[in-house]
Amino acid sequence: MPHVVLLAGGVGGAKLAHGFAQLLPAGKLTIIVNTGDDFQHLGLQICPDLDTVTYTLAGLANPDTGWGRTGESWRTLDEVARLGGPGWFRLGDLDLATHLTRTHLLANGHTLTAATQQLCQQLDIIHTILPMSNSPAPTLIDSDEGLLPFQTWFVARQWQPAVRRVCLPAEVQATPQVLKALEKADLVVIAPSNPFVSIDPILNVYPIRAMVVDLPQVVVAVSPIIGGQAVKGPAAKMMAEMGLPVSAAAVADYYNDLIDVFVYDAQDRETFQTDERPALCTDTWMTTPAQRRRLAEAILSYTMELTNQ
Ligand code: GDP
């Protein structure tokens, strides 16, 4: 079995992580997760993408929202709002236990990597989930309403302010665990996550982009754009606002020399034309566990055939 390293944001990243997790044994799947969306709220350290991936692999994710836990209740946050505290960022009672534990571990000197490892162990996750960095790496959105912290733009303003540019911090370092995973990867997969606010923040962490470009192994990206639309979230809107065509082909062009293989949806079969690089056209909708597994299988068999030629 190859060792697969997946670069992932929240929703799209977690779904493909779940696909690979159904196929690969422990030790063969590492998910490097965006922490550019992380922020401090109510005194707690919130890591939305790490939690979406963790809850998904633990079978606890809420499939309707794409964030938070299933079977959630809201008593604490409703009371916070009643007391005049901030209620705009929804944190369920069970979800709060994650943020409390993580914040406690960080306050006691654990790294974010170690805190994530503990949470995964306690939730019986056998695969490795790594934050891209142990240091804060906040993404800012330069919008037509000025420079906004990511969660202000994404949640409070519901990603409505038009995006001029995504601003990523300089000099954020990858963790030793991230470097080791990339070094021993047989296959690197860029999940169908938002290229600008989920994948770019990971690639921006030194030296991840350079490592991915230089890797002798195959690097595959999966399109988050299907039929000219994002399955969920602001990816398509952002592409239009930043002057890019809204298509799977534009995502492939955006990743350009980072990738060896591009995976796009069967819906785009007629319109997607490329001889730039090998491309796999397949069903990339990942609503059910079986669809996720099938896509992961298709990626593995396509790339294995390619490298055996
Ligand atoms: P976020 O951090 O929660 O926004 O999550 P991601 O960046 O990982 O995922 C958002 C992206 O995932 C969006 O651009 C969606 O179009 C894409 N996405 C979500 N579900 C699917 C799916 O089932 N298939 C594909 N191909 N893309 C998906």
Q: Is the pLDDT at 275 greater than 90, yes or no?
A: no
Judge if the beta carbon of residue 285 lies within 6 A of ligand 1: yes
- Give yes or no for a contact between 134 and 68, defined as CB atoms under 8 angstroms apart: no
Domain assignment present for 43: yes
How sure is the predictor about 168, in pLDDT bands with cuts at 50, 70 and 90? very high
Is the pTM higher than 0.75? The answer reads yes
Whether the ω angle into residue 207 lies within 30 degrees of 0, i.e. cis, is yes
Q: What is the pLDDT of residues 178-209, one digit of tens each?
A: 999 999 999 999 999 999 999 999 999 999 99
Higher pLDDT, 276 or 38: 38
Mean pLDDT of 71-84: 97
* Residue 150: inside a domain: no
Nearest Cα to 47, choosing from 180, 159, 139? 139
- Residue 49 CA: which ligand 1 atom is closest? 2
Give the pLDDT confidence score for residue 276 in this predicted structure: 82
Answer whether 190 contacts ligand 1 (Cβ < 6 A). no
Per-residue pLDDT for 226 more than 80?
yes
CA of 302 to the centre of ligand 1 (A): 22
What integer pLDDT is reported at residue 307 of this predicted model?
87
| Residues 16-37: tens digit of each pLDDT | 999 999 999 999 999 999 999 9
At 249-261, the pLDDT tens digits run 999 999 999 999 9
**Does the pLDDT value for residue 309 go beyond 90?**
no
Q: Are 262 and 223 a contacting pair, CB within 8 Å?
A: yes
Could you tell me if 57 and 8 are in contact, meaning their C-beta atoms sit under 8 angstroms apart?
no
Q: What is the pLDDT of residue 215?
A: 85
Instruction: Report the pLDDT averaged over residues 212-234.
Output: 94
CATH number, position 64? 3.40.50.10680
Asked whether residue 282 is assigned to any structural domain, the reply reads: yes
Q: Minimal CA–CA distance to 201: which of 70, 43, 51, 8? A: 8
Between residues 227 and 309, the one the model is more confident about = 227
The CA 174 to ligand 1 mean position distance, Å, reads 24
Q: Does residue 162 belong to any structural domain of this protein?
A: no
The reply to whether 128 falls in a domain is yes
**Residue 308: which pLDDT band, with cuts at 50, 70 and 90?**
confident
**Number of folded domains in the chain?**
1
Q: Which of 46, 194, 226, 281 gets mutated to test ligand 1 (max ligand atoms within 8 A of its CB)? A: 194
- How far apart are the C-alpha atoms of 85 and 212, rounded to whole Å? 43
Secondary structure in 3-state letters for the chain? CCCEEEEECCHHHHHHHHHHHHHCCCCCEEEEECCCCCEEECCEEECHHHHHHHHHHCCCECCCCCCCECCCCCHHHHHHHHCCCCCCCCCCHHHHHHHHHHHHHHHCCCCHHHHHHHHHHHCCCCCEEEECCCCCCCCEEEECCEEEEHHHHHHHCCCCCCEEEEECCCCCECCHHHHHHHHCCCEEEECCCCHHHHHHHHHCCECHHHHHHHCCCEEEEECCEECCEECCCCHHHHHHHCCCCCCHHHHHHHHHHHCCEEEEEHHHCCCCCCCCCCEEEECCCCCCHHHHHHHHHHHHHHHHHHHHC
Degrees, nearest 5: CA angle 38-41-42: 155
Assigned domain for 39 exists: yes
Closest CA relative to residue 127, chosen from 12, 31, 13, 7:
31
Which domain covers residue 270, as residue numbers? 4-138+169-308
Q: Is residue 79 part of a domain?
A: yes
Atom of ligand 1 nearest to the CA of 286: 23
In this prediction, residues 92-114 reach a mean pLDDT of 98
For ligand 1, atom 5, name the residue with the nearest CA: 10
52, two tokens: 């979406």
Is 158 within the bounds of a domain?
no
pLDDT, the chain, mean: 96
The whole-angstrom separation of Cα 68 and Cα 272 is 35
